[in-house]
């Protein structure tokens, strides 16, 4: 376990574009999207494609940048103990409307494979609470994204 922790910090330290303890807004959003994508234990190609397109569109990134962000996000997902470090970054930088949009994107990833697992719904609910969104906003974004 200690070697896994050391490997994690080394992988973060190798990325010279950003300090190891700094999480960019793109990474914070990507980690939350990855958490929803991985929640049901099935890495579906349609969910992964949806994640790629969301990151390309929302942050105006190149394919290479998106690939790198997803790689870092998946590493952070494996080692994160909670969502707070990511949602707090979003809360600091996003307005209520932007946080609602983030919630909308989480639903898009969850529904990308055509079905909603209860664990995906549970994770989105937890994230909505951490983003300080009302239950009505949670429900409305869910209804807007149902297939």
Which pLDDT score is estimated for 16? 44
Percent of the chain with pLDDT over 70: 86
Q: Which H, E and C letters describe the chain, residue by residue?
A: CHHHHHHHHHHHHHCCCCCCCCCCHHHHHHHHHHHHHHCCCCCCHHHHHHHHHHHHHHHCCCHHHHHHHHHHHHHHHHHCCCCHHHHHHHHHHCCHHHHHHHHHHHHHHHHCCCCCCHHHHHHHHHHHHHCCCCHHHHHHHHHHHCC
pLDDT in tens, 9-50: 565 555 444 444 578 999 999 999 999 999 988 778 898 999
pLDDT of the residue at 17: 47
Q: What is the pTM of this model?
A: 0.83
pLDDT value of position 10: 61
Whether domain 24-145 has CATH 1.10.3680.10: yes
Q: Where do the domains of the chain lie?
A: 24-145
């Amino acid at each position: 376990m200690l070697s896994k922790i050391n490997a994690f910090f080394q992988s973060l330290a190798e990325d010279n574009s950003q300090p190891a303890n700094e999480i960019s807004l793109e990474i914070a959003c990507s980690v939350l999207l990855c958490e929803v994508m991985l929640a049901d234990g099935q890495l579906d190609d349609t969910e992964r494609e949806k994640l790629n397109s969301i990151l390309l569109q929302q942050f105006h990134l190149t394919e290479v940048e998106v690939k790198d962000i997803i790689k870092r996000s998946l590493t952070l997902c494996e080692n994160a103990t909670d969502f707070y470090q990511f949602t707090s970054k979003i809360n600091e930088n996003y307005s209520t409307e932007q946080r609602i949009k983030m919630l909308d994107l989480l639903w898009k990833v969850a529904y990308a494979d055509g079905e909603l697992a209860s664990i995906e719904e549970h994770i989105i609910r937890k994230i909505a609470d951490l983003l300080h969104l009302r239950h009505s906003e949670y429900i409305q974004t869910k209804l807007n994204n149902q297939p």
